[in-house]
């Protein structure tokens, strides 16, 4: 080989090595490399280099062709190539040209790039063989249809909210179940110190005996019960409300009782009704059973209690609206109500007699229905006693 040919071959090898070292790779060797080779080498007359004529290859050239290109063709001792690529705007560009033998195997193997879609095909079987090449772009990357990070966060938030709501519902259901269970069991719990049979450790038998002797005169209700019964009653639920106060269903010693709580402004009415109920020989099957009366207060507020028997059927007014009566049941109600009213009006003479009492507010809402289908008269807040001495003195 002649010296100038060896020099040209060494220069071309140096260009290939520099192109690979600078990272240009395929883009530099195929696009820019041809231009640089064209500036250093003349392609006007292929016969000017006789040694390259043997084994050289003519290729079709388009875009980035060497200078002095004739009929869109170039000559190489390597391979012909055709490359198709897509730019950032979505346009497709097809480029053809020559690639030298040194490094052609590496350059014809394109590497996948994340930003640009392109494909390259090389050939060296015949002249202008790259005219028949038709490379196709690689398929588009698959669209991510799975859950992304943001969607995963939204799903996690929804799951947390759903779990919290479910936990709250279960908690409310559990509390409601416990409430209904306690209400159905009707267990009355009381502090032992509040029970009237509890004996404090500080008291002696003599103190208890003196207290029993001075607790009452033997007639009427013991004062001990009146002082302590308000603390022993457990209020359960409100069952009514009137002009004098509220009516509650409570528990005392494990039994249901009705507690009429008077407003503090109605103390006179509470005192009058308590006095009527405590009348001697007042108790009757058709008169509401009286248990006790008490005053409960803490210093800042006061409650006036009137404790009586509890009848779950309620008043005669409500009972008649919800129940259809047969003649026998209606007659039982009428006779029992008349019997109770007769007992109120009757004056009983004796050592401790009972005066005649006028109800003065008798109506279906003040008559209660007992479980056995009979009536009992209640609400004696407006009742008055007949005083014989005052009556005869008046006339």
The annotation places the binding site for ATP at 260
How many whole angstroms separate alpha carbon 66 and alpha carbon 382? 125
How many whole angstroms separate alpha carbon 12 and alpha carbon 14? 5
φ, ψ of residue 122 to 5 degrees: the values are -115, 155
Instruction: Provide the 10 A C-beta neighbour count for residue 276.
Output: 20
Q: What is the DSSP string of 38-78?
A: HHHS--S-GGG-HHHHTT-EEEE-BSSPPTT-BTTEEEESS
Q: Is 361 a catalytic residue?
A: yes
Q: What is the DSSP string of 73-113?
A: EEEESSEEEEEEEE-TTS-EEEEEEEE-STTHHHHTSPPP-
Output the CA–CA distances (angstroms, integers) from residue 48 to 34, 55, 58, 93, 127, in the order listed: 19, 15, 15, 33, 19
How many whole angstroms separate alpha carbon 33 and alpha carbon 98? 10
From the candidates 45, 191, 361, 379, give the one annotated as an active-site residue. 361
Binding residue numbers? 260
Residues with catalytic function: 361
């Amino acid at each position: 080989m002649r010296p100038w040919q060896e020099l040209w071959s060494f220069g071309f090898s140096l260009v290939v090595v520099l192109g690979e070292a600078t990272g240009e790779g395929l883009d530099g060797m195929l696009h820019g490399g041809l231009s640089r080779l064209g500036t250093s080498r003349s392609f006007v007359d292929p016969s000017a280099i006789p040694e390259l004529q043997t084994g050289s290859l003519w290729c079709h050239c388009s875009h980035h062709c060497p200078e002095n290109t004739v009929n869109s063709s170039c000559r190489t001792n390597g391979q012909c190539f055709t490359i198709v690529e897509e730019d950032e705007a979505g346009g497709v560009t097809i480029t053809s040209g020559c690639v030298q033998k040194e490094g052609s195997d590496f350059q014809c193997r394109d590497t996948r790039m994340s930003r640009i879609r392109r494909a390259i095909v090389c050939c060296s079987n015949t002249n202008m063989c790259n005219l028949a090449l038709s490379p196709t772009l690689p398929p588009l990357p698959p669209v991510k249809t799975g859950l992304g990070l943001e969607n995963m966060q939204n799903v996690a938030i929804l799951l947390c909210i759903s779990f919290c709501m479910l936990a709250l519902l279960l908690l409310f259901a559990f509390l409601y179940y416990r409430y209904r269970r306690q209400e159905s069991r009707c267990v009355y719990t009381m502090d032992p110190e509040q029970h009237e049979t509890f004996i404090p450790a500080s008291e002696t038998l003599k103190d208890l005996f003196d207290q029993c002797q001075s607790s009452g005169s033997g007639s009427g209700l013991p004062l001990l019960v009146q002082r302590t019964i308000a603390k022993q009653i457990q209020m359960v639920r409100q069952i009514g409300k009137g002009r004098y106060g509220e009516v509650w269903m409570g528990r005392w010693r494990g039994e249901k009782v009705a507690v009429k709580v008077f407003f503090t402004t109605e103390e006179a009415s509470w005192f009058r009704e308590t006095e009527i109920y405590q009348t001697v020989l007042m108790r009757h099957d058709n008169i509401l059973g009286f248990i006790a009366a008490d005053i409960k207060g803490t210093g800042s507020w006061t409650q006036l209690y009137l404790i009586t028997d509890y009848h779950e059927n309620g008043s005669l007014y409500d009972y008649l609206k919800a129940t259809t009566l047969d003649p026998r049941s209606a007659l039982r109600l009428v006779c029992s109500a008349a019997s109770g009213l007769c007992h109120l009006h009757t004056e009983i003479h004796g050592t401790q007699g009972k005066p005649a009492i006028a109800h003065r507010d008798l109506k279906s809402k003040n008559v209660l229905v007992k479980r056995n289908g009979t009536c009992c008269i209640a609400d004696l807040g407006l009742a008055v006693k007949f005083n014989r001495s005052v009556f005869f003195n008046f006339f």
